[in-house]
Amino acid sequence: MEYFAKSRKLARILNSEKLLRKTFGKDCATKIQSRLDEFDSVPTLVQIPSDPPPRCHRLHNKLEGKFAVDVSRNYRIIFEGYDKDDELSVVRSEIVTVQILAIIDYH
């Protein structure tokens, strides 16, 4: 499955181990890279488990229509999913591309 970042700044951080560590710390950066590797290794979002550690789940309220995967106890990778026609989707089995919106502590 493909992934890309919403902003150039986030793309630079995700593509640089040094910036990833500087921004999020060594442990969190390692876990973020693990989640990105999981995105790379599956054909659709349905293969990312709903159980921990990734715990892929849909979000609600002001983040309705978006998904998250756990990075650490508080941090999550927030993203939107797109199907093969590049249409926004919330059906996990149809999502083949994700747009990473942010890596945040939303609690």
Contacts of 34 (CB under 8 A, 6+ apart): none
pLDDT in tens, 61-104: 999 999 999 999 999 999 999 999 999 999 999 999 999 999 99
pTM for this one? 0.94
CA angle 36, 70, 100 (to 5 degrees): 45
DSSP state of 69: E
Domain residues for the domain of 94 are 2-105
Q: The domain spanning residue 67 has which CATH number? A: 3.30.2310.20
Please report which residue ranges of the chain form alpha helices under DSSP H: 8-14, 17-24, 26-41
pLDDT at 83: 97
